[in-house]
Structure 1
Amino acid sequence: MLKDILSQAWEAMVHNRRRTMITIVGMAWGIATVVLLLAYGAGFSRAIEAIFSQWGTHLMGVFPGRTSEQAGGDKAGVKVQFTLDDVDTVWNGVPGLIHITPMVNKDVPVQNELHTYTWTVTGVLPDAQDILHLPTSEGRFFNGQEEQQRAHVAVIGSESSTKLFSGQWPIGQPVRLNGIQFTVIGVLDTKMQEGDSDNNRQIYVPFSTMSDIKSTKYLDGIWMNYSGNFEDVERHLRETLAMAHHFKSSDHNAIFVANLMEQLSQFRILSIALQVLLALVGALTLGIAGIGLMNIMLVAVQQRTREIGVEKALGAQKSHILIQFLAEAFVITGAGGIAGIALAELVSVMVGRITFYSAIASNATDADIYLKISPTAVIVATGILVVTGLVSGMIPAIRAANLDPIEALRYE
């Protein structure tokens, strides 16, 4: 029976080839729009994730400030200062931490035999490589033994390497930091960099050695990575430091917390909202094509009124007529859907990458929008297509099924 119904639908489509092709093109255009808009939304979300992933998402930094609320007998306006004791306090008081490192930095002259620049030198523990996501493209990061021995070794950014050594092999080369000689043991991978940002000009040295450049009695900050809920970690962090330094945990001016996961969560909400909006726009576009299909099917019902009357006179039930016209609508919808998905795939291959973050940042092509047709986008688009085809085909099919056979036989 199904074979006969599909055969009838195909014959009706072939009989009105031009009208059928126009309708299929409209459906194909609508489904291609839905798929491409969903692919764009997913590409935008991937771009945001790529921007944050270069630093690691489960990353948190805390920096000292000045109190703005009175706490007990302490007045507001007291300067908070971190020491190495605070690193131990945070490590023991905040659950879920994986690694932690103190951080001290200073802008100093960086020199070799040919060049002199002023860049930021940062003293950290070896765990900073995992915390701050600092993979090396050449050489290696310093280790625990070099930290204990106060070794004069340095890991430099990719841009620092290019400017200092002009393409020569940098590993093992001497470099003077604030007039003190260090040996380059590693070059960091290139990171995305906006404008004159110094992301690729950072220089890292062991924390113990940093005391030769700047006093490490007071820290400029503490970095850590963690597992678990970012809100709980930040809350415990604020409470732990508030107790240690006698300020209210609600005083956000006393300490500043850089919580990358919080920022990423906000961007994820925006990404989801964008994808919903694009899906809605695509569904409305496909709905316009569905209206075209409905009109065509209504015309088909009108043209085949006498044929419907004959079928009913020969004993055809309402359900038979209904299924007959629904099948025709679904065949047109299916053909348009297949053509539309193929068109979307072709467009995505031709377009490939859409400039996004690389327009304002260097080394940022990974954070551009790539139009990749995912199975999820195809499934969602197919669901919208099925609903559109059902609604567009149902109204004409019901009208055909409800025709009075006597009046239909009289129709000229």
Structure 2
Amino acid sequence: MFSESISIALAGLKANKLRAMLTMLGIIIGVGAVIAMVSIGMGVKDKVATSIAGLGSNLLVVTPGASNAGGSRQAAGSSITLNEKDALAISQEISGINLVVPAVTRSYQVVFGNQNWTTSIQGTTPDIQGIRNYNIEEGSFFTNQDVETRARVAVLGKTVAENLFNGGTPIGQTIRINNAPFRVVGVLEAKGESAGGNQDDTVIIPLKTAQERLMGITYIQNINVQATGTDVIYQVQDDITTLLRARHKLAATTPDDFTVRNMVAIMEAADETTSMITSLLAVVAGLSLLVGGIGIMNIMLVSVTERTREIGIRKALGARYQNILLQFLIEAIVISVTGGVLGIVLGIGASYGISSVAGWKTVISSLAIVAAFAFSVFIGLFFGIYPARKAALLDPIEALRYE
């Protein structure tokens, strides 16, 4: 009887192909929309996480200037509140730290021959390689001796190298930064975009060279601190705050004249936000599945009305409540399952299409596919029960009299 009920249900759908396809359309669009929207949300989440992770793992960034609930604000003289001794003290007095790297940054025009390029000049130490995961593609990085001797050497980001040398070899060449000559000793591997912009559009030079020979300053603009792991990073953040307040002789009521930014906390906040966005997109798209379910119920009610005499004849010939109920439930489930499968194809295709046409990063989630398909089947079953039950409860005599 079960196989016969399936045959009768499929025959009923085959007799009204166009109506069945139009009914499926709501499920197809709903499932496709859920998969596509979730893939967009997951893509945004992955891009944000990759962008923040590109700045360094387990990273704390200490910058001059106080912060408050209303955002960052600069106190009097706050731009010169950090110096190399602060970085040295952090390195020597606080546990749970791998690397401490002071840095200064300013934009300058870089010239080679008749080519010029305005970029970010970063003065720092060789340890920046460990914090920012810089790899050398060509040449080498400068040394700690270069920092101490104020050597005029430079390591170029990929973007700068390509724009100044047009495919030529930069190693050993002399470039001019703010009219000062620097010898190129290395070129970094490409890293791409990050939360701070294009990571390849930079020139890295020794810290003391940048301070004394280029910028004419004695302070530092930020201190990059890499903790040994996420389990200690919040404690390290508190310890840095305590140490710098003591070094700067700040009273208990005086606000910090520096800011310690925790990149792990920023990543967690960003992850929470993007997860909420992904969930919202999925819920909005999921509403179309409900509309599709209402369409199934509507069409099934029409089908029950049209086939009232058929139901009466079947009941008169001995068909039971369960047989009629199963027949119409199978029709509803076939519509939802077929629509779900086609919707999966549509959703995956739409995700790839959005990625290639709009240039957005999309991540297709297997969980979203399974959840959308399962929900479509549930929708078909849920909205098919009422029409199926209505058909199964028809009185055979009244059904035979129906015109």
Give the TM-score, by structure 1 length: 0.80
CA distance 1:305–1:110, shift in 2 (3 Å): closer
User: Shift in Å at residue 106 of structure 1?
Assistant: 5.5
- Corresponding residue of 1:304: 307
User: Shift in Å at residue 87 of structure 1?
Assistant: 2.2
Code of the aligned partner of 2:170: P
* Alpha-carbon distance in structure 2 between the residues aligned to 1:48 and 1:354: 20
User: Shift in Å at residue 149 of structure 1?
Assistant: 6.8
Does residue 192 in structure 1 map to residue 193 in structure 2?
yes
User: Shift in Å at residue 169 of structure 1?
Assistant: 1.0
Does residue 141 in structure 1 map to residue 132 in structure 2?
no
Tell whether the 8 Å contact from 1:38 to 1:278 is kept in structure 2 after alignment: yes
- Corresponding residue of 1:375: 366
Q: In structure 1, the residue corresponding to 2:168 is in which secondary structure?
A: coil
- Corresponding residue of 1:158: 158
The Cα offsets for residues 94-140 of structure 1, whole Å up to 9 and x where unpaired, read as 55433221224456675555567776543322120231343344333
User: Shift in Å at residue 287 of structure 1?
Assistant: 1.6
Tell whether the 8 Å contact from 1:310 to 1:409 is kept in structure 2 after alignment: yes
- Corresponding residue of 2:385: 394
User: Shift in Å at residue 15 of structure 1?
Assistant: 2.2
- Corresponding residue of 2:402: 411
CA distance 1:67–1:406, shift in 2 (3 Å): closer
Tell whether the 8 Å contact from 2:344 to 2:369 is kept in structure 1 after alignment: yes
Instruction: Choose which of 223, 228, 231 in structure 1 pairs with 2:230.
Output: 228
Code of the aligned partner of 2:221: D
Tell whether the 8 Å contact from 1:112 to 1:176 is kept in structure 2 after alignment: yes
RMSD: 3.5
Instruction: Choose which of 270, 274, 288 in structure 1 pairs with 2:273.
Output: 270
Following superposition of structure 1 onto structure 2, how do residues 358-373 of structure 1 map, counting pairs within 5 Å? 368-373=359-364
Comparing 328-337 with 381-390, which one deviates more in the overlay?
381-390
CA distance 1:380–1:95, shift in 2 (3 Å): farther
Q: In structure 2, the residue corresponding to 1:370 is in which secondary structure?
A: coil
Q: In structure 2, the residue corresponding to 1:142 is in which secondary structure?
A: coil
User: Shift in Å at residue 201 of structure 1?
Assistant: 4.6
Tell whether the 8 Å contact from 1:47 to 1:369 is kept in structure 2 after alignment: no
Q: In structure 1, the residue corresponding to 2:259 is in which secondary structure?
A: strand
Q: In structure 1, the residue corresponding to 2:294 is in which secondary structure?
A: helix
Following superposition of structure 1 onto structure 2, how do residues 309-348 of structure 1 map, counting pairs within 5 Å? 309-348=312-351
Code of the aligned partner of 1:301: V
The Cα offsets for residues 232-274 of structure 1, whole Å up to 9 and x where unpaired, read as 4433332232233233689665102343333333332332222
Tell whether the 8 Å contact from 1:102 to 1:222 is kept in structure 2 after alignment: yes
* Alpha-carbon distance in structure 2 between the residues aligned to 1:372 and 1:217: 47
User: Shift in Å at residue 54 of structure 1?
Assistant: 3.5
* Alpha-carbon distance in structure 2 between the residues aligned to 1:50 and 1:136: 20
Comparing 310-319 with 398-407, which one deviates more in the overlay?
310-319
User: Shift in Å at residue 275 of structure 1?
Assistant: 1.5
Tell whether the 8 Å contact from 2:155 to 2:184 is kept in structure 1 after alignment: yes
- Corresponding residue of 2:288: 285
Mark the runs of 5 or more structure 2 residues left unpaired by the alignment.
Answer: 69-74
CA distance 1:15–1:252, shift in 2 (3 Å): farther
Code of the aligned partner of 1:261: V
The Cα offsets for residues 314-335 of structure 1, whole Å up to 9 and x where unpaired, read as 5544333322211110011111
* Alpha-carbon distance in structure 2 between the residues aligned to 1:369 and 1:387: 32
- Corresponding residue of 2:375: 384
Does residue 247 in structure 1 map to residue 238 in structure 2?
no
User: Shift in Å at residue 296 of structure 1?
Assistant: 0.9
Tell whether the 8 Å contact from 1:139 to 1:171 is kept in structure 2 after alignment: yes
Give the TM-score, by structure 2 length: 0.82
Q: In structure 1, the residue corresponding to 2:56 is in which secondary structure?
A: coil
Comparing 289-298 with 309-318, which one deviates more in the overlay?
309-318
- Corresponding residue of 2:171: 171
Does residue 22 in structure 1 map to residue 13 in structure 2?
no
CA distance 1:109–1:292, shift in 2 (3 Å): closer
Instruction: Choose which of 323, 339, 355 in structure 2 pairs with 1:352.
Output: 355
Q: In structure 2, the residue corresponding to 1:87 is in which secondary structure?
A: helix
Q: In structure 1, the residue corresponding to 2:331 is in which secondary structure?
A: helix
- Corresponding residue of 2:99: 99
Tell whether the 8 Å contact from 2:58 to 2:264 is kept in structure 1 after alignment: yes
Tell whether the 8 Å contact from 1:193 to 1:200 is kept in structure 2 after alignment: no
Tell whether the 8 Å contact from 1:67 to 1:251 is kept in structure 2 after alignment: no
Code of the aligned partner of 2:56: G
- Corresponding residue of 2:11: 11
CA distance 1:33–1:221, shift in 2 (3 Å): closer
- Corresponding residue of 2:71: none
- Corresponding residue of 2:48: 48
* Alpha-carbon distance in structure 2 between the residues aligned to 1:382 and 1:198: 40
CA distance 1:233–1:181, shift in 2 (3 Å): same
* Alpha-carbon distance in structure 1 between the residues aligned to 2:305 and 2:43: 46
Tell whether the 8 Å contact from 1:63 to 1:255 is kept in structure 2 after alignment: yes
CA distance 1:291–1:182, shift in 2 (3 Å): same
* Alpha-carbon distance in structure 2 between the residues aligned to 1:208 and 1:108: 17
Q: In structure 2, the residue corresponding to 1:52 is in which secondary structure?
A: helix
User: Shift in Å at residue 171 of structure 1?
Assistant: 1.0
Tell whether the 8 Å contact from 2:175 to 2:183 is kept in structure 1 after alignment: yes
CA distance 1:399–1:252, shift in 2 (3 Å): farther
- Corresponding residue of 1:72: none
Tell whether the 8 Å contact from 1:239 to 1:249 is kept in structure 2 after alignment: no
- Corresponding residue of 1:204: 204
User: Shift in Å at residue 336 of structure 1?
Assistant: 1.2
* Alpha-carbon distance in structure 2 between the residues aligned to 1:352 and 1:117: 31
